[in-house]
Amino acid sequence: MDGNCSDFDWDTEDELEIENFGPPYSSGVTHAHEEAVVGSAEASSASSSSCKVIDHFVGMGFSKEQVAKAIEENGEENTNLILESLLQCPAKESSLPSSSNSKVIDHFIGMGFSEELVVKAIQENGEGNTDSILETLLTYSVS
């Protein structure tokens, strides 16, 4: 696999299709090739699931390194534990802007807000919620 997980989507229906795939003359005899196909399908499904979890948290503004560490500590099944672990990271690590939210930071700095306040507002509201970020920044300005 080339590491790009976003182009691959595997679901239960695909797994069932692979399990039912076989020559019409098959009489319950399992062929070594069929087992290899099913085995690789399960591995691909697990890999795809892992990539989706990583992409989910990276999309929230966490670095891949932070997410990988949190998954290693908590397993990928419980996303709530992963999130708790990510939120408990030292403030210095989580306050560094990732490349994905640097455009958001630049946008609000261009509006006249300080980088420190912008980063704080993004941490409180999430990168994708620009309306809430702006409301928070305006609240900081009034205080």
Q: Which three-class secondary structure string do you get for 20-62?
A: HCCCCCCCCCCCHHHHHHHHHHHHHHHHHHHHHHHHHHHHCCC
pLDDT in the model for residue 84: 87
Note down the domain range covering 123. Answer: 97-143
pLDDT in the model for residue 136: 92
Within a domain: 119: yes
CB count within 10 Å of CB 28 equals 4
Average pLDDT, stretch 87-99?
Answer: 54
Within a domain: 108: yes
Average pLDDT, stretch 101-124?
Answer: 87
Within a domain: 113: yes
Q: What are phi and psi of 43, to 5 degrees?
A: -65, -40
Within a domain: 127: yes
Within a domain: 67: no
Q: Between residues 26 and 67, which one has the greater pLDDT?
A: 67
Contacts of 49 (CB under 8 A, 6+ apart): 76
pLDDT in the model for residue 138: 92
Within a domain: 124: yes
Average pLDDT, stretch 11-26?
Answer: 56
Do residues 101 and 92 touch, judged by C-beta distance below 8 A? no
Within a domain: 91: no
What percent of the chain shows pLDDT beyond 90?
Answer: 7
Do residues 90 and 123 touch, judged by C-beta distance below 8 A? no
CA distance 2 to 92: 32
pLDDT in the model for residue 140: 84
Q: What are phi and psi of 24, to 5 degrees?
A: -65, -20
How many independent structural domains does the chain possess?
1
Q: Which of 1-15, 58-72, 74-88 has the lowest mean pLDDT?
A: 1-15
Q: Which of 8-12, 52-56, 84-88 has the lowest mean pLDDT?
A: 8-12
